Amino acid sequence: MGDASDGPVAHHVAHPGDQAGPAPAPAGTAVLAAVAHRDGVREQPRSPYRTMPDAERSALWRRRLHEAEAGLTRYLVTRGDELHLTDWFALQSEIFADLPEPTAPSAAWQRVFFRGQALMERFLVARYGEEVLPAWAASNAEVHRDVEPDHGGGAADPIRRIARQAELYGSDYEFDDDAPPSAEHAALTITHCAIWDYREQARRSGVRITLASPCTYCTEALSANIRAKGHRPAHRLRSGPTGHGCRWEATAPTAPATATTDHHREP
């Protein structure tokens, strides 16, 4: 989940992709004042990973950084001799500078991921343009396929990974009550994407945002990850009273395709 920017990095966000700036606010804060209320009380989102232990959050930030950096290495190899190795080595040194202890709080590893994601996005866009982001996402997904454990849930596995990433950002999300995740089909709706909150916070702080929308990279990355695990992805972008969001589906290759199509934005 993702976007890049200049300046000291505290934040993939995206990123699905991610950008620099101050750390995002805790889950469920600000910007949600417009959420529908019932009897004057805001309905609580169904976000099952709210209790994810801090050590698990740290591990997921580290895995995401590994997928992105190793994926970028793979992608650059495919470009042959176009790369100046000194530039690449300098980028790697920035990505892995001042690493925290393995037992450090997840916020410390979050900052490392945000910095690395921002640096990598800026590195690619500055040299090759935004058009190479899908190829980078596909390369990252090849790494994801090998390092993300198979939990035996079929189509539910990649959707649950998306839910856990949404939890890292403090987004509001929910699974369908009438169709819980299964091996054949799984769906998740992010009702409020906190990545957008972070972007606006960073923008107001004077941070230059590289990508016009975090969805530019994030949708490519999540779709590629679902495909890498052998399932068909589909998504819809959403915007409304609860802010920006999206709906994701993964379908087993032998199951009928859903009506959802990529790159459709709901009102």
- Identify the DSSP state of 236: E
Task: Tally Cβ neighbours within 10 Å of residue 216.
Answer: 21
Question: At CB < 8 A and 24+ separation, what contacts does 23-28 make?
Answer: 23/107, 23/110, 23/111, 24/169, 24/170, 24/194, 24/197, 24/198, 24/201, 25/170, 25/194, 25/197, 25/201, 26/170, 27/167, 27/170, 27/171, 27/172, 27/194, 28/170, 28/172
Instruction: Please name every residue paired with 249 in a beta bridge, in sequence order, or none if there are none.
Output: 187, 234
3-state DSSP assignment of residue 172: strand
Confidence band of 84 (pLDDT split at 50, 70, 90): confident
Confidence band of 9 (pLDDT split at 50, 70, 90): very low
Per residue in 133-152, pLDDT (tens digit) is 999 999 999 999 999 999 99
Q: Which of 170, 189, 194, 31 is nearest to 106 (CA)?
A: 170
Task: Inform me whether the pLDDT recorded for 259 exceeds 50.
Answer: no
Tokens found for residue 226: 């679902």
Task: Inform me whether the pLDDT recorded for 25 exceeds 90.
Answer: no
What phi and psi values does residue 32 have, to the nearest 5 degrees?
-105, 15
Task: Inform me whether the pLDDT recorded for 158 exceeds 70.
Answer: yes
Average pLDDT of the chain to the nearest whole number: 79
Task: Inform me whether the pLDDT recorded for 112 exceeds 80.
Answer: yes
**In terms of pLDDT, which residue wins out, 115 or 57?**
57
Task: Inform me whether the pLDDT recorded for 35 exceeds 60.
Answer: no
Instruction: State the average pLDDT over residues 24-48.
Output: 40
Nearest-angstrom CA–CA distance, 113 and 65:
6
Confidence band of 61 (pLDDT split at 50, 70, 90): very high
Nearest-angstrom CA–CA distance, 230 and 232:
7
3-state DSSP assignment of residue 104: coil
Per residue in 174-187, pLDDT (tens digit) is 998 777 889 999 99
